[in-house]
Structure formats: C-alpha cells, structure tokens
Amino acid sequence: MAPPVTCTIIASNYLAHARVLADSLTRHHPGERLQVLIVDDPDGHIDQRGEPFDVLRPADLPLSAREYHELAACYEVLELATAIKPTLLSTLLLRSGSRPVLYLDPDILILSKLDELTQECADHPIVLTPHAAKPMARDGQRPTESEILASGAWNLGFIAVGEGAEPFLEWWADRVRFESVVDPAGMRFTDQRWMDLAPGVFDVHPLRNPGYNVAYWNADQRPVEWTGERYLADGQPLVFFHFSGFDPDRPYVLSKHQGAAPRVRLTEHPALRRLTDHYATLLQAAGLADCEANAYAWDRLPDGTAMTPDIRASVRRAMVHRQAGGAHQRPPDPFDQATLPAFMRWLASSEPQDQTPIPRLFQEIYRRHPTVRAAFPHPELLDFERFRAWANGVGSQEHKVPRAVVDLAFGAGCWPRQATPDWAPRGRLHPGFLVAGYLDSAVGVGEAARRALHAMESAGLPCGSFSFGLTLSPRIEREAPSPPPRSDLNTSVVWVNADELPNFLRAVGPTFFDGRYTIGHWVWETESLPESMADMDQFVDEIWTPSEYCRRAIQRTIDKPVLTVPHVITAPAVNPARRRQELGLPEGFVFLFVFDFLSTPARKNPAGLIEAFCRAFAPGEGPALVLKGINGSRLPLELERLRYQIGDRPDIRLLDSCLSPSDNATMLALADCYVSLHRAEGFGLTMAEAMALGIPVIATGYSGNLDFMHDGCAYLVPAREASVGPGATPYPEDHVWGEPDLDVAAELMRRVYESPEEARAVAAVGQREVLSRHGHAQAVRFLTAQFSRIQDRIEGGFESQVRERVGTFLAQNFAGRRRTAALARTMTAKAPAGQA
C-alpha cells in the first residue's frame, strides 16, 4: 500500500528540522521524498539538489505574487505558514492522483510506517488528531483544559486529506486567508480554532490511535516506552512524535509551552528523555546552529524598513474588510520595490471609510496598545492635537514608525493640524461677531450657524468664522470660508451644545475668552436641561436658543439670560437637473423624512413613522415612504432595527448616505409631503425648509417646530407627554417629551395623499408664513438689534468672568494629563524642521 504524499511548511531557519523529518520519512518509506514549501526564499538560494527533500516555493501555489506578498505582509512566520497550509494541501491533492496527502509540522520525527493513514483516508476524506483523547486531570499543571480551549480542540500539526476533501480545503483556505492569527487574548491560535467548526460541516474522522501525534499536551496520557528496538506510546507503536516547543539548548524541558508547571517532566519519563536527546542530536547533525541564523525574508521591506506588528495589523485589517465586501482601499504591494513608496503613502494616509484624518498606521497603533488608548481617550475629538503631537515624536519612536511614513503624515498634510488661530488680546479687540461651531459638518447645528453668518454679513455686521472640527459627523465641501476666520472680534457666538462644550474649551483654550463677550448657542429637546449641562452656563455670558420650547427648558435650570434666536429659514437652492431616480426616490407620491442617526433615533422616531405609514396604507396601495438618514453605519443595530421593521414592504425605502447640501435640498423639493413624527425637536430645520419650498408638512404638534407651525399652515399630529425611558442617550430616562398619536398621523397621511389640492393650499400658507416670520430679512433685523445691545453692554463696562472660569476648569479636569502633554510637546520641539 503506497504511503501518503507527505509535506511540511518551513521558513529557512527551520531547514534542519525539515532535513530530520525528511530523513525519518525516507527511513520508513524508502524512495519517498518529503515535499517542503519554503515560505521565505524569494530569490531561490536553497537548492534541493543538496537536500533530502523536494523544494516547493510560493510560486508553485495558485497565488499571484501580489496575493502572496499580502499574506506575508499580514502575518508573522507561524501565521503565514498556517494560512497557506490548506492551499498547499489542495495543490498536492490535485497532483497526487489517488494518493492521500499528509501534512506534518517540521518539528516532527517519524518513527514507524504511515500505512494506516492511507486506509483511513480511503474511508474518510479528512483525518485529524484531537489534542486530548481522554479527560485531562484538573491539577493545575500545564497545559490546562482552558489552554486547549483557547488553542483549539484539534492539533493542526498533523492532518491527512484524501479524495472528497476539496470542498473542505476550499472552506478552510478562505477562513484562514486573513484570519490565521496568534491572539491568546482573543482565544485564537492560527488555524486551529477554525478547525473546531469543521466537524459540524464536513466528514472529519478523529484518529485516536495513541501512536499518532504524541506531544507535550498528551504524553501523560500516552506514556512512551523504549523496548530496545522501538518506541511505544500507551502500548502501541509510536508512529510519530511532535516536538512542539522543544529547544535543544534546553534539553531538560520537553516544551517551552508548558511553563513552570509542566504536566510531563523528562526526569520522570526516561524513554521520553531518550527520545528527546536523540532528536536534539539529529537536529545538531542537520546544521541547526547555521540554519537558525537565517533571517526571515519577510521581516523587512525592500529598503530595509522593519515590518512591525502594527504595520502587519494595518494591512490585515484592510484585507479583512475587503474580503468581507467592504470598500477599504487595497494596500499597494509592500514587497515590490516599485510600489513600496505607494505603500508608505497608504500607511500615512487615512481610510476614507473611517471619516478621520488620522493615518492608518497610527489608528492601528491606537487600537492595539491599551497604554496609548488610556493616554488619549478621544484621539478624534478632545485629544486630537495631543495625540498628533505624541505620534509625531515619542509615539513614532516607541512604535518604530518608518521615517517615510512620519515624513508623509506630518510633512505633506495627510494629518493636518486643527486650525486654531492665535487669539488677539483684549486690548486689540474690535466690535463684531465671531461665529464658532461645526461650520464644515453635515449636521443641523452646523447649517444653522452657516445661515446665521450669512445673515450677519447681509446686515453689514462685522463678523468672522471659526470652524470647530471635533465631530464624528461627515464633513461637507465648502468654498473659501465666508466670512473669513478672525481672531480680533469682541463677541463670540459658540454654536456648540452644552454637552459638547468641554471639547470646545479644551480645543481653543482660555485665551479665546479673554476680554470677550461669550454667547452659547444651545439646543435641548426635553422639558428641562439636566443639571450636568446647566453647569456649563459658567462658561458663557448669555445663551441663544432657536425656539421658545428650548428657551423654557434651558431657563428652568440656569440664571443666565436666555434669548430665543430663531434659525434663518430660506428656500434652499435646488438642482433642477437632478431626477428622482438619481437620489433614490421612487416615482409616484412620496412621503419623505430626513434624519441623523446620531441625533438619537428614539427622539427622531423613524420607527413611529414607519408604523403610521403601515397603518395608513396597504402594500402597493400607491404612495411610498422614504427615510433618508446619515450615520446609520455608526449605529448599525439601530439601522438594522429599522430594516427589520420595514420587512418586505416594497413601498418603504431606507437610505443611509451623506448628500451634498444641493442634493438634500433637491430631494426635499422632489417629495410630495414631508413627515416628522418626532418626540421632540429643538427647532426642526428640515421641516421649516420643506415649508419654505412649498411642500406640505405633517409633524408632531409638540416642541420647537410650533414656533413656525400651526394648524392652518401644516398638519399637526397631537402628542401626549411621555417619559423618555431607557436607551435614548443623552436624554435622562425620567425626562419628558411628546409621544405622537400614530393613528392620527396615519389619517393625516391618507388625507394629504387623497386631497392634493387641500395639501397644496396648506403648503402655500406655510411657505408664506415661515419665510415672512423666520426669513432672512427678519433674521437681519433681529441680529442687528442684538449686536447693538451687546456692544452697548460692553461699552458700559461689562467684565466677563468666563476666561478665569475656563482656565480653572481646564486645570482641574486635565491636570492628570499634563505630563503626557508636556512630553509630547518636548518631542515635537525636537522633531526635524517640517515634521512638527
């Protein structure tokens, strides 16, 4: 009976082990040669003519050079060898004819014939050995059952496959392509945990013969004996022994993996000691010392740059996302000299899907190292500049970031600084409004601030802008800021909500407030402001808010002046060339709702709108409902909840994408009716915009939208007061907002659909009223009056105390981080010119 085709996988430093394994195979099966895949000899220096085995190279596998280089970039040597194991087995099985294929780890010694495996593979396409075929003693000695659980039930240092194993090998190769990692904390050990799944899917045969795959993990259950002629394991011929973790320089330890409490001690097993001494002698005779000196070829890039674990993790993350169907950019080939510069640029740039300027490599360093995460809890927000400074100095040195990546990330604008001007001192301030906020972000508060700036300019008021970028919301592309940034105006309108104000204080520092009158523009959507947010009133001199609803809620808990300053409402510019299909809208009658998942789905209540639509219309009855969201990918469970609720209704569409302001406005204009069944709104900008475009609006008759809505200009849904309840962060559970009547909402949706003339008449009234009461001219008059009032107060000797309070707050809340920040500044100062 012909033995299996036998193979192994090595790096060049394991040549001695492969020689010993090959000799042991030939000794028991004369004429058979071990097939050895060498993973790190790209230049072909190893010549099989001088070896007792046949040499295979990655080029012999069905992988392109780039695909193999990606694997070599993802993995350390052990991980790489296991990742390509099923591909090697598939290749050899295809070539072997009817013979099965046997894989053995290179640190194995064959001691008897392998004939039994040929028969086993004839009966079963997949043959494996479990780590333990008997219960393990729970005595605290190693390995423990928990360690076996962590590394996998099967030992993949041995596997035999025969005819019919092809689907299994394809499945296995796909799973370990980028998921063959050594991750003890995640209970993953290369390919072995994947094999735990195989018996449930494929015909896996456990080989329980105690003579196969004896090693440190089962040698206590399979005692080794020497008869004077052969070795036995638990009374059966020992076919092969697996010297996993054995080091000839420490011959008194069976395996380094047993630690200080080994389950098997060589001094207690003389036959096993004889065997390990013999194996050590064979390795030395095979040139172990010289082979171990061979450097691993994939540890360095073509220019000599070290391939660090953080770089490998960056590549693997991108490949895992791509394998799962994500849109992440494929990294350029790092081991091709021609594409190496592009690979460095890839590491130094950010992934567009992540919506952050932090370069990929530094993102990976942050993810992988708990000490870094502890030092910089909010690298995209509060700790942005400190993290950037650390990365440009100490961080790059500690984590061996390639010099080329540092140069690109900090010298070419890949990781820009946050634009924070030097604020003019109080003696050089001039009358004027400085509007600070999310001016470049696709959020309602950013749009409101942009409109206020435009109104100030139209009024001829001195004004300037400061874009505060610390937000996770998508950014919008704007032309050159108008009005431009200024640092010398005496009145600041900080368009940042109370709960996010600490981020702003940290970003701008105390000098931003020195000698200035500070206005906070706040919005809150329940009946009262929480005490934690009310405490933020110490950092403003007065508060503006867009509606009477918000003013009452805020004024209940603070003593500072609170003024209602309505948002500026204009009919947004639309693109007449855009068609419904291009924007995801169906033909026919469309109800539309636009919302941001990050604005708390429970408050925006898209689920209630879906329910009301389903009560109003049977499937296919005529109209369609479109819910247009953004940031759904950041709250995937909320997104899935809505998809689940929609089910198989073809007349309800859920879109999750960020459109340009023009496309958003065009989508509004193309809808037949806008619906918002919110539980609370600070103002309701999208509702007001729809009214300004002449679109009929159905909305909850509660909260800020009542400042520009009544029954004659919109369709109002009655609401009862209700507790917020759990799961609506940042709103406290015991706070109160409105619960819309979904039955009435359904009736109104059907009424608008069935009575289009009435709906158009209501929309016309709404358009006139919202533009006359909240339009641009009204805003200009209001802002001009506020400007005069505030300047009179300043000229009357008003002295703000905000600067001192901000300084105290920052000192008290961030004192623990001073040392890290100082070190980061020191290293930044030492950086070469152009690198800071």
Q: Which residues of 472-494 are buried (b: 16+ CB within 10 A; e: fewer)?
A: ebbbbeeeeeebeebbebbbbbb
CATH of 426-568+793-800, one of 3.20.20.70, 3.40.50.300, 3.40.50.11930, 3.40.50.920: 3.40.50.11930
Work out the angle between the directed axes of helices 742-754 and 756-774 (0-180°, nearest 10): 110
Q: Given this model, what pLDDT does residue 484 score? A: 80
Convert the pLDDT of each residue in 425-483 to its tens digit.
Answer: 988 999 999 999 888 776 778 888 888 888 899 889 999 988 876 555 555 665 555 67
Alpha helices in 196-307 (DSSP H): 270-285, 288-292
pTM here is 0.72
Q: Are domains 5-212 and 580-773 of this chain identical in fold?
A: no
Among 249-263, 271-285, 378-392, 694-708, name the one with the lowest average pLDDT.
378-392
pLDDT digits 0-9 by tens, 615-630: 999 998 999 999 999 9
Burial 191-204 (b: 16+ CB within 10 A, else e): bbbbbeebeeebeb
Q: Which pLDDT score is estimated for 3?
A: 86
CB atoms within 10 A of CB 633: 13
- 818 — pLDDT class (breaks 50, 70, 90): very low
Say how far residue 48 (Cα) sits from the centre of its chain. 46
**Nearest CA-CA partner of 836 in 245, 827, 82, 397:** 827
DSSP 424: P
Q: 5-212 adopts what CATH topology?
A: Spore Coat Polysaccharide Biosynthesis Protein SpsA; Chain A (3.90.550)
> What proportion of the chain, given as a percentage, has pLDDT over 90?
73
Domain residue extents for the chain? 5-212, 300-411, 426-568+793-800, 580-773
Hey, what are 9's tokens? 């996988």
Task: Categorize the per-residue pLDDT at 829 as very low, low, confident or very high, splitting at 50, 70 and 90.
Answer: very low
pLDDT tens digits for range 198-208: 999 999 999 99
From 2.60.40.10, 3.40.140.10, 1.20.120.80, 3.40.50.2000, which CATH number describes the 580-773 domain?
Answer: 3.40.50.2000
Q: What's residue 409's pLDDT?
A: 92
Q: Taking a C-beta distance cutoff of 8 angstroms, is the pair 165, 9 a contact?
A: no
Question: 69: which 2 tokens?
Answer: 């280089």
